[in-house]
Amino acid sequence: MSTVQFTNNPYLLLTPGPLTTSDGVRLAMMKDWCTWDDDYNNIVQGIRSNLVNLATNNPGKYSTVLMQGSGTFSVESVIGTVIPKDGKLLVIGNGAYGYRIGEIAKYLNIDTVMLDSGETSDPDLVELNSILEADPAITHVAVVHCETTTGRLNPIDKISETVKKHNRIFILDAMSSFGGIEMDIDTLGVDYLVSSANKCIEGVPGFGFIIVNKEEFEKCQNNARSLSLDLYSQWKTMEENNGKWRFTSPTHVVRAFAQALKELGEEGGVAARAARYRENQRTLVEGMRKLGFTTLLSDEHQSPIITSFNFPDHEDFTFDEFYNRLKEKGFVIYPGKVTDVNTFRIGNIGAVTPAKIKDLLVAIEESCYWKEAVN
């Protein structure tokens, strides 16, 4: 059996983040930085500006706030800061991460409506329109762009059209899509976009970022339900103190992210990265189908970020055994997260090329131990 080895890594991460990073990103963390020093804060300011320019062709309308912690910390900072005390949130949920937004709102005692279309279905746009027409108290609408529970890419252009027709504030969780799928948030009418360092920009975990519509965000002072997750105060501190964070920032992670942004530009920007991800995903799905695996979603609903595969129809198959055999060969995949269907997931993002996906497919073919049992 062949074993593929990768420089400085025991295995290739085929997950939706944390993900396999480049040598350059990892090497960028091999230096200490002072949070008060202008050299470091200028890096932060460069990141903030760069992210806005990636997000839209109308950068003057938007600004970026960085927030310590995992992506969920950033989502909670948005939900807890931008919705006023008398506001009401509509969450469009069709997977674990949409449902998590609803859970955050519940913890924060925010009046919330959940439009639950089920984990394997598109959002119900007719019902969305009906809810917004019937309930003028709803002030904000939130949705996940790429729902990595299944790998589904939600139709944010159609969702935004309905949200803006009713003049509501639009929150987009683009955690697993920003930097890997082309979009213009001004064209889409997005008021708040949330993502994380360790996703399609291909940095490492430690902070998230929120791209905000400045005109709307200026209305959010004193809304926050948390001290450390007060997104407005974080933004004001960064705006007024040349990128200074309110509390200790993850300096090494920030420096790695700056390098990751540099490498994104060298690759050709979001369009080039999106093309690589699409080719990774196409190569993966074609190869898996040849090996007898089936996808949970149809191709028309599938994102290029991560793909869910159904368990093989063999009583001898267990995910743990399959996972461990692949790990021994240098590949780490992801367990499933769909409630009522047995699946596993394989990601396409990070420092991953179609050639590495082909190596993975060889390893998967060699790891189909249940076929040996049948034969």
Residue 373 pLDDT: 53
Question: What's the chain's length in residues?
Answer: 375
Question: Residue type for 181, please?
Answer: I
Where residue 290 sits, what CATH number does that domain have?
3.90.1150.10
Instruction: Determine the Cα–Cα distance for residues 87 and 219; give it in Å rounded to an integer.
Output: 13
Q: Same domain, yes or no, for 101 and 246?
A: yes
Instruction: Determine the Cα–Cα distance for residues 146 and 135; give it in Å rounded to an integer.
Output: 27
Instruction: Determine the Cα–Cα distance for residues 216 and 147; give it in Å rounded to an integer.
Output: 26
Domain boundary among 234, 266, 298: 266
Token pair 């930097």 is at which residue?
179
Q: Same domain, yes or no, for 253 and 276?
A: no
Is residue 5 situated within a structural domain?
no
Token pair 């407005």 is at which residue?
232
Residue 339 pLDDT: 86
pLDDT tens figures, 100-142: 999 999 999 999 999 998 999 999 999 999 999 999 999 999 9
Residue 1 pLDDT: 35
Instruction: Determine the Cα–Cα distance for residues 187 and 171; give it in Å rounded to an integer.
Output: 14
Query: How far does CA 297 lie from the centroid of its chain?
Result: 19
Residue 334 pLDDT: 94
Is residue 2 situated within a structural domain?
no
Total structural domains in the chain?
2
pTM of the model: 0.95
Is residue 262 situated within a structural domain?
yes
Q: Where are the alpha helices (DSSP H) in 63-197?
A: 71-82, 96-107, 125-134, 156-165, 185-188
- Answer whether 229's CB lies under 8 Å from 81's CB: yes
Task: Using alpha carbons, list the distances in angstroms from residue 49 to 10, 43, 83, 209.
Answer: 35, 10, 25, 12
| Domain region containing 368 | 12-16+269-374
pLDDT tens figures, 54-84: 999 999 999 999 999 999 999 999 999 999 9
Query: How far does CA 247 lie from the centroid of its chain?
Result: 24
Domain boundary among 266, 301, 334: 266
